[in-house]
Chains A and B, each alone.
Chain A
């Protein structure tokens, strides 16, 4: 593949690609047969640790574990001003996602307690209740689509419980999140629904804020009330920032957990031996969850913007360039993992980057883990045996956003 001609007069980023750095043209957005994105990441990683990708304005790609971790751990070089490699000048600035250290830690400190393991443990009983209710309702049907009937509803209800708003409002959030991500991949037919969904989400939080505006005291177990009563640098946060944080949580937390659960349940449907093992040794479920985050990483790659000229593994990075760390390549890197392409239920030393690393480590990691563990426990207790009920290959949404199975039809025997 070739690099496009530079604009006359101006040196483009492509002119700086050294001879040792292979050039590809890769747009990871279109939907593909499930598993294709990890296969692509494997091929790239074993071809070269760095690439120049001529997609969009052009950006560097890092394909191996060490390089991706280094990218995450060095925000002074790799800024989060943009995390989308094909969109170097975003018009939005999400908090805390796009804030760099040292400012970033002020916002993280504000919210980290709410999403810490102790806080997540508090709502674990509610997560069990939701999961049990959903599985019990589904069981007599003998079939369902895991993606729409289970994997989306569960994290949504648990998230709302943690925030301290009615769980039943999942009826609103599920379609909003579906509509938002249907349009996120760039499908023009979906743009209107996407905009309407974002509007719905924002208006929901506007109303929640308004209901708390005149409180003199902070409400217990109420995240929005906590934010209203908090300060950063001695100043209240203000409605705009609070709305921004709440919207980020919805967009970062629900579709991701659904996507990850989908791949884990596909694995369980296809691997009766692993299912058996988790039923007999339920203490291995957390380890299976971690392995699914490694092997079935929904993050194809994560972007950063170069903040200072740097030589990085042979690439002359200039301030303003975009880079793309292939998390999917890193998590199956044979330089780090034995049998990297296998699902090993009790894998040890599993240091996957599925929740990123460095200062922007996923805020919801402890919540997502708990929800996934509870989902497997409650499902297997009621539906221990199930299989994929589709004659055509499963398809996955492209890696432009986060990968996710578009549907996962499964079936099981219903005892008379």
Chain B
């Protein structure tokens, strides 16, 4: 599974990197560093990744199933 982060929609709510802290990081302004990128999700972090994607108020995160 992968997560895709929409660069234009992300507004730095910080829900994703708080809920999936082993997978994601924030930058100095509070945006997720993966803004505009696709991130591979290791099997043991699938649950956190789903929670992160579902918790983004902008729907900036799309889950790409394998």
A residues near B, CB below 8 A? Answer: 69, 73, 109, 112-113, 115-118, 286, 290, 348-353, 355, 357-359, 361, 365-366
Can you list 22 A-B pairs, Cβ within 8 angstroms, ordered by A? A69-B57, A109-B29, A112-B12, A112-B29, A116-B28, A116-B29, A116-B30, A117-B14, A117-B26, A117-B30, A118-B30, A290-B15, A290-B55, A348-B50, A349-B55, A350-B54, A351-B54, A355-B13, A358-B11, A359-B11, A361-B13, A365-B14
Return chain A residues, CB-CB under 8 Å to B15.
Answer: 290, 350-351
User: Which residue of A is nearest B56, CB measured?
Assistant: A351
Are A357 and B58 touching (Cβ within 8 A)?
yes
Distance (whole angstroms) from the CB of A279 to the closest CB of chain B: 21
B18 within 8 A of A: yes
- Chain A, interface SS category: helix
Are B11 and A350 touching (Cβ within 8 A)?
no
Return chain B residues, CB-CB under 8 Å to A116.
Answer: 12, 26, 28-30
Interchain CA distance A404-B59 in the complex, whole Å? 29
Are B51 and A349 touching (Cβ within 8 A)?
yes
Q: A348-B50, A350-B55, A351-B59 are in contact. List 13 more A-B contacts (CB 8 A).
A: A116-B26, A117-B26, A286-B18, A349-B50, A349-B53, A353-B57, A355-B57, A357-B13, A357-B57, A358-B58, A361-B12, A361-B13, A361-B57
Number of A-B contacts (CB under 8 A): 63
Interchain CA distance A351-B58 in the complex, whole Å? 8
Number of chain B interface residues as a range: 20 to 34
B30 interface neighbour in A112, A349, A351, Cβ under 8 Å: A112
User: Which residue of A is nearest B48, CB measured?
Assistant: A348
B9 within 8 A of A: yes
Distance (whole angstroms) from the CB of A103 to the closest CB of chain B: 17
Return chain B residues, CB-CB under 8 Å to A355.
Answer: 13, 57
Interchain CA distance A358-B12 in the complex, whole Å? 10
A113 interface neighbour in B14, B28, B54, Cβ under 8 Å: B28
B residues 1-54 near A (Cβ < 8 Å) are 9, 11-15, 18, 26, 28-30, 50-51, 53-54
5 A-B pairs with the lowest CB-CB distances in the bound complex, closest first: A349-B54, A116-B30, A361-B11, A112-B29, A351-B57
User: Which residue of A is nearest B53, CB measured?
Assistant: A349
Interchain CA distance A286-B50 in the complex, whole Å? 18
Interchain CA distance A112-B18 in the complex, whole Å? 18
Distance (whole angstroms) from the CB of A272 to the closest CB of chain B: 27
User: Which residue of A is nearest B18, CB measured?
Assistant: A286
